[in-house]
Structure 1
Amino acid sequence: MPRVHDRRAAAFAAVLALLGTATVTLGLRTEDTGPVPPSLAAEAVGASLTPSGSAAGGEEEKEAARGKKGNDAAGGGKDVGARGMTRSVPVRLEIPSIGVDTELMTLGLRDDGTLEVPPLRGDAPAGWYRHSPTPGEVGASVLAGHVDSARDGPAVFHRLGEARPGDPVAVRRTDGSVARFTVTKVATYPKRDFPSDQVYAPLDRPGLRLITCGGVFDRGRGSYRSNIVVFAEALS
């Protein structure tokens, strides 16, 4: 179904542009580059987004409310495996190696077809794109978050570029289960050459794509030139 894939790729491309929108605040950052994958030098990161995210809506909001208590109490995890898990809205993301422990909001599409992003606050959670598979289902589940805000400084994905292959990732879901993954790749892509077909390619197994801004900050345009993408695969 190439048309569906093209529409999804277009929506993802739109959010990548939004992830690079930033307001420069003097004194917020001392460097003009962000954390990058292991093959490049480690640096401080910063980016801001236009506030446009939304909380989980409709049936997904009800499901999240029903499952939150049980999800918080879930002590164990589940190796997802190639067959995947049944659909269940994600409510929390944990990446201990880089200090990520965040609730997850649900992101949809705006009326103009562009992807919603989380609110522009330093304490804003990361978000799951609800038109992608839920984490644990077969396919690439997409999570996006800010690296910082001009007003509040570091945000939820501030250290995303420090993730390394082999790092564990856990996603808690409304049904009380925990989908577990391992990082397989961390990459920085120029926004103008972003490989949508590679990042969002259909999968025959469960996977995660975690996305934020990075690279060099273009003060003239008020945005970062690149995106950091963390690829993760389900534990078998």
Structure 2
Amino acid sequence: MTAPQSPQPNSNPSRTASASRPIGRGLLWSAGAFLLGSLLVYNSVDTSADPKPQSHSAVAESANPHSSASPAVPDLALPRSAPKRVSIPQIGVNAPFTQLTIGPTGQLNAPPANDKNLVGWYKDGAAPGERGSAIIAGHVDTKTGPAVFLQLESLKPGATINITREDGIIASFKVDSVETFNKARFPSERVYSDAPTAQLRVITCGGAYDRKVKDYVDNVVVFAHLASFRNA
């Protein structure tokens, strides 16, 4: 996942993720682990073109998956169901999902770098729409050019992120904030810790590209909450 300055996945015993950002060559998944405290680890995946560049969350008892729409209330949530596709109209994103897992070193594995239009979901964390912090991540760029989250940093508060799930429900999230963090000071606990409501974290790489380490220096993180849902 890369775009001009891309971020990467982080790992969290209860939920993990990473991201990428800026255009250009290089992708790094900053993997954050949160278990009885937080631990930030890094899992770099060099996709640069050389010289150039819980466990699941509790199911909401009150959610009705068959309703055509639901009001934006603080405790709005859905039963668990894997995501199939994400759409972010404001930045032209329309991409399928692949499942992400934690590697042997405890870091979140990045989505395949040979597909520029693919988003990863940490399958052992909360599902989008389920109570908890659902983690999705994508490249900002790859060896062949800009990727799915190239423009993620330009997303504005109030923007909508629509995720179509396997149960036929489209969960719509409202963006609360878009923030950039230096990977050396990544706020793992804030990004990956569990939540009592249905939250979404979208991660990619950002900042300047460090040619020496072949990685971006920052992570871009979008914080969003479930605002409504409807049948596809």
In 2, the alpha carbon distance for the partners of 1:189 and 1:9 equals 19
In 2, the alpha carbon distance for the partners of 1:25 and 1:6 equals 31
Task: Report whether the alignment pairs 1:7 with 2:26.
Answer: no
Q: How far did 1:7 drift?
A: 3.0
Q: How far did 1:204 drift?
A: 1.2
- 1:83–1:77 Cα change, 3 Å: closer
In 2, the alpha carbon distance for the partners of 1:102 and 1:145 equals 10
Q: Give a deviation string over 1:129-150, Cα, whole Å, max 9, x none.
A: 0111100001110001000112
In 2, the alpha carbon distance for the partners of 1:20 and 1:112 equals 14
In 1, the alpha carbon distance for the partners of 2:227 and 2:207 equals 30
Task: Report whether the alignment pairs 1:117 with 2:110.
Answer: yes
Partner amino acid for 2:142? Answer: S
1:17 is aligned to 42
Between the two structures, name the one with larger relative contact order (CA 8 Å, sep ≥ 6). 2
> Are the aligned partners of 1:161 and 1:186 in contact in 2 as well (CA < 8 Å)?
yes
TM-score (norm 1): 0.70
- 1:115–1:216 Cα change, 3 Å: same
Q: How far did 1:27 drift?
A: 4.5
- More helix, by proportion: 1
> Are the aligned partners of 2:156 and 2:178 in contact in 1 as well (CA < 8 Å)?
yes
- Listed as ranges, the matches of 1:110-149 within 5 Å are 110-149=103-142
Q: How far did 1:6 drift?
A: 6.3
- 1:180–1:10 Cα change, 3 Å: closer
In 2, the alpha carbon distance for the partners of 1:111 and 1:154 equals 29
Partner amino acid for 2:221? Answer: V
Q: How far did 1:109 drift?
A: 1.7
Say what the alpha-carbon RMSD is for the aligned residues. 2.5
Q: Give a deviation string over 1:141-189, Cα, whole Å, max 9, x none.
A: 0001000112x10011111111000101100000100111111100000
2:24 is aligned to none
- More strand, by proportion: 2
Structure 1: gaps (5+ residues): 29-75
The number of residue pairs the alignment matches comes to 184
- Listed as ranges, the matches of 1:52-131 within 5 Å are 81=73, 82-131=75-124
Give secondary structure in 2 for the equivalent of 1:199.
Answer: helix
> Are the aligned partners of 2:139 and 2:149 in contact in 1 as well (CA < 8 Å)?
yes
> Are the aligned partners of 1:16 and 1:191 in contact in 2 as well (CA < 8 Å)?
no
Residue identity (%):
36
> Are the aligned partners of 1:187 and 1:230 in contact in 2 as well (CA < 8 Å)?
yes
Q: How far did 1:24 drift?
A: 4.8
2:192 is aligned to 200
In 1, the alpha carbon distance for the partners of 2:101 and 2:12 equals 17
- 1:180–1:138 Cα change, 3 Å: same
In 2, the alpha carbon distance for the partners of 1:125 and 1:23 equals 17
In 2, the alpha carbon distance for the partners of 1:94 and 1:205 equals 21
- From 184, 188, 213, the counterpart of 2:180: 188
